[in-house]
Structure 1
């Protein structure tokens, strides 16, 4: 694999950008190498500046459910850009996307667009605090809700990768208002509510944890959170920035049959462009300015490019057959990969739901944050490097998720299985 141009660009980037990147996981530190600079993406493949081609299972960390450069999405962006890239004013596509989302996810009666998942989650907890008149929130170990101060306590994703449980610059008084429970452990939540329940404004959770690798909720976990929060007068916030429109058209809450009070969205609803949103019951969302007293604003919120890309994406996904296809193709890939790992004698766990999966190097099930921390990250790094040489692009961290897109074909699955087999041969 050639990488001279990537190495040259990274050397220059480190002189003008912290760590040479705009987001920590991109630095590839968790896999013991320097990053590749990507030049373009098409369908299920990406191409770097040195001309290397990879079957892509990152998909910009989730939003590209249709694959790279889908012609309908590109067309929508082009047409929108010809009319202007930003107005700082309402536009029709903003209303169209809002109506589509509210129709798809019944718990969202009103919605506010923002520009990132972080904006969505920090706005949702501000709203929850105002609505309940309470100060504290509950989050879960290993769950990442963006880089707002309230969330950088035992978070996942890049913070797990770097081994930093907190972030410098987060004030102690801010941290005291964030209570941390254990994912898939209702008893830990009940204990917190017994001690602090009167002060808890909300519980925020990734209904499917996607920032410590893929960790699935136990059958009664989310139902238990709904019961606890309803009883205590706290709000339940589903962070569906990753899972929204990924598992099924109505979000994971539709799949699970659970109704949260507030939902945060991102990734897919912008068709690959920067976007986020939060929404929920009318009586809660009516507290948001200018209708109410909870201030939140953004010049580029609801910008015509992201709205057009989102509308184009959701129109395609309204054909639910795409989700059936994603389920089948991802199931086949995960099943074949299990066989390959077993044939090579490696301890492993593959967690999967819908078009999301993670490969963990461990001999036990992965159901909790503690299970994740027992995984062999050095072995994953070795596996990653060999797999990259074989032309397959997995996330550059044990704690991220692989995504299959509508652009992946059966020949991509077969090529991936063979590449994994060759990568494991090198590790034997």
Structure 2
């Protein structure tokens, strides 16, 4: 396929935007081609500046679980926009969405709205430090929690794609307070906690690691972290920015029946508009300003357009049978991709949890970032380009999950499987 307009736009963008993009993973640098510039989207498809159509499994990196431009979500945004795009003042919609979040997550008694996932995780960590009086945090290799200074240490997502797990510009004094452990290795975590007795404020993790592909927690891992944090007075922060309302209405915590002290949310609760949130029990959340002394603020927090889109989205997700549809479609695609990959001599491993999935170009299973890093990224790049030429839009990185929407049809899935068979045959 020719992408003349996208190519020209990218050249022009590089003159006024660093790298030509406003988020590094959009650059397509790791897959050896220029990014698509998108003009519109509808249902399961996106349309680029050259008027070419693609079946989309990026879904704006997860939130488009209903598909693009669901009419009820669009109508909610339009109705809200008529009354004003931003007030910098409270609205009733903030209460309505907060109540819906608390209903879905029994461990969230109060929630603070913010404008991004990075804001949510950064603020949750500040709250944990303030509540415990401790400075250190513990995260996991390959887990990405946004680009706050203390979290860009052995991070996944775009940081992994570009081979910069610790970004320049982060003072060593900041990074020294961040401990990193191996995902799914509970013994290692216990050893690190013992070596830093009474110094760790929080453990933060993705309950399903979606920024090194799609890595589910091994049996006992989340349960072990919960027990350890309770015993040691450590705040357990579960980052559900990606998994919240995605793998179940109550997120991964409902799916695995393990609850965090603080929970970070984003993406879906804004219906695709910029939004994030963090919440937990009252005794923690009431220590935030203006109730308590731990400061956190945001002029655009609780934006009425985002709140309206989120309310409309969550109402649709609550409909009976919604997640069964996602599971059925995802399982069908998984079976087809496995069959396609089996005909190739290149080792592959497909992992899926609900509507999240990833095909690794290595032997499986993939249980942590070290395993994921063994993937043949050059083979993935060739696979990606062939799929794109066949009209299939996937994440332009081996270290990102794909996402299913309820708008994907059986015809979409069959077309995707057919494209994968062609791609694997060419490999």
TM alignment of 1:5-16, pairs within 5 A? 5-16=5-16
Which residue matches 2:359?
359
Rounded Cα–Cα distance in structure 2 between residues aligned with 1:21 and 1:78: 28
In structure 2, distance between residues paired with 1:320 and 1:224: 33
Name the count of aligned residue pairs.
427
| Alignment match, 2:348 | 348
Shift of 1:369: 1.0
Alignment match, 2:391: 391
Structure 2 length normalisation: TM-score? 0.99
Identify the residue that residue 269 of structure 2 maps to in structure 1.
269
Question: What is the 5 A alignment of 1:236-315?
Answer: 236-315=236-315
Asked if the contact 1:390–1:419 (Cα under 8 Å) also holds between the matched residues in 2, the reply is yes
2: distance between equivalents of 1:212 and 1:20?
24
2:48 is matched with which residue? 48
* Secondary structure at 1:146 match in 2: coil
SS in 1 for 2:201: strand
Query: How far apart are 1:345 and its partner, in Å?
Result: 3.1
Task: Give the alignment's TM-score, normalised by structure 1.
Answer: 0.99
Do structure 1's residue 137 and structure 2's residue 141 form an aligned pair? no
In 2, Cα distance between the equivalents of 1:426 and 1:16? 38
Q: Which runs of 5+ in 2 are unaligned?
A: none
Tell me how far apart the structure 2 counterparts of residues 87 and 404 of structure 1 sit (CA, whole Å).
34
Residues in 1 aligned to 2:43 and 2:346: alpha-carbon distance in whole angstroms? 31
Residue 254 (structure 1) shift: 1.1
1:92 lines up with 2:97 in the alignment? no
- For 2:261 and 2:344, the matched residues in 1 are separated by 46
Report the Cα offset of residue 302 of structure 1. Answer: 0.1
- Following TM superposition, by how much is the alpha carbon of 1:368 offset from its aligned partner in structure 2, in angstroms? 1.1
Paired residue for 1:77?
A: 77
SS at match of 1:274: coil
Q: CA deviation at 1:344?
A: 2.8
SS of the counterpart of 1:150? helix
Corresponding position of 2:409: 409
Indicate conservation of the 8 Å contact 1:287/1:293, yes or no.
yes
**Aligned partners of 1:249 and 1:320 also within 8 Å:** no
Q: 1:69 and 1:197 mapped to 2: Cα distance?
A: 50
Deviations 1:122-143 (A, max 9, x none): 0000000010111110000000
Q: Is the 8 A contact 1:262 1:280 kept in 2?
A: yes
Structure 1 unaligned regions, length at least 5: none
- Alignment correspondent of 2:192: 192
Matches within 5 A, 1:149-228: 149-228=149-228
C-alpha distance in structure 2 between counterparts of 1:260 and 1:424, whole Å: 41
Aligned with 1:12: secondary structure?
helix
**RMSD of Structure 2 on Structure 1 (CA):** 0.7
CA distance in 1, matches of 2:40, 2:16: 23
Quote the residue 2:324 is aligned against: 324
Alpha-carbon distance between aligned partners in 2 of 1:251 and 1:369, rounded to the nearest angstrom: 22
CA distance in 1, matches of 2:259, 2:45: 36
C-alpha distance in 2 between matches for 1:423 and 1:373: 22
Aligned counterparts of 2:49 and 2:126: Cα–Cα separation in 1: 42
